[in-house]
Structure 1
């Protein structure tokens, strides 16, 4: 648990950034992914991760999937969108309903859905500004394969409590990587202008 707390603290810190620098009409105090997403995923812990060490798996979220050359608004936003969409899909299955507290799962789904709606509007606007940006390197395929590995792992482990705990921690790590990408690009000014 002591090792998990610094990781979670780092993710929360990374999730605080102004989305207004994205150059679209997201609310000024909105953050993608939101701190609420991290909080909900943290609250969903049902099993100590230390009890599940034998079930750990490397799902191969390569740094290139979330930060390799993502210097355009559309590419960066596409990564965030794909991560949130795939996470929502993963936690929207019948098997996830059996694994998690219904109220927390509902809150997480609602939070992810709201973030996706905001991001859809923003992505649409930015696509008008940079219509050819995704041609240079759409990360969608790599992220879909990453989430497919997660789904296969859950199936292989028969959706056990430990398997879901490993996945929950992995999703926290993945969303943290996306938050770091967003923060880095915001600081570099790449998301503010083309």
Structure 2
């Protein structure tokens, strides 16, 4: 089974590689928006990560970059869209609203929503291709399982401040890895 990050890599390679485009009009610069998301996630910090070291968890986001060139463009777009949607869902909960500064949280949710809308315009024309993409269901399922682990962790920890801090750091890592990859292309 392909790890979720490898699919994100595939999206970024297809989207921003030499001469490459998504085949649709993307009005957002995903590198800039991802940088803004990282900054917002950094600003959301309310407690020290060191204080929450006993609550750390490995959510199985791969640290190494794998070659995602064998994935189809539509598959990568679909998986990246799923990752954004799941991130939006994590931070869009009632529990999240109670944990964070609402102004910063709304800024993050707004940026995620803009990216989702932008990528949503790309999904429609690509859906026929995506339907035939081998392994797409497995790939999006892997993303869902990754985020299901995050949801279960928060619930298990009763949405504690430390649990939210661990999740905030995890999401910063995911956005940092994708932004770093975009900048290398």
TM range (shorter): 0.7 to 0.9
Structure 1 segments unaligned to the other structure (5+ residues) = 1-13, 188-194
Residues 56 and 166, structure 1, Cα contact 8 Å, conserved in 2 = yes
**In the TM superposition, what is the alpha-carbon distance from 1:66 to its structure 2 partner?**
8.2
CA offsets 1:59-115 (integer angstroms, 9 cap, x no match) = 112469986555311121122101100000011111000000011111111111111
Q: 1-side partners of 2:169 and 2:72: how far apart?
A: 29
Structure 2 segments unaligned to the other structure (5+ residues) = 1-11
More displaced 10-residue stretch of structure 1: 135-144 or 79-88: 135-144
Distance 1:67 1:171, change over 3 A: farther
TM-score, length basis structure 2: 0.77
1:56 maps onto 2:56 in alignment: yes
Distance 1:99 1:131, change over 3 A: closer
**In the TM superposition, what is the alpha-carbon distance from 1:21 to its structure 2 partner?**
2.6
Residues 81 and 119, structure 1, Cα contact 8 Å, conserved in 2 = yes
Structure-to-structure mapping, 1:1-194, within 5 angstroms: 21-27=21-27, 30-31=29-30, 34-62=34-62, 68=68, 71-128=71-128, 130-138=129-137, 139-179=139-179, 187=185
Corresponding pairs, count: 168
Q: 2-side partners of 1:42 and 1:84: how far apart?
A: 18
Q: 2-side partners of 1:178 and 1:70: how far apart?
A: 18
Residues 41 and 108, structure 2, Cα contact 8 Å, conserved in 1 = yes
Q: 1-side partners of 2:97 and 2:25: how far apart?
A: 33
Task: Give the structure, 1 or 2, with the largest relative contact order (CA under 8 Å, sep 6 or more).
Answer: 2
Give RMSD over aligned pairs. Answer: 2.9
Which residue in the other structure is 1:10 paired with?
A: none
More displaced 10-residue stretch of structure 1: 135-144 or 164-173: 135-144
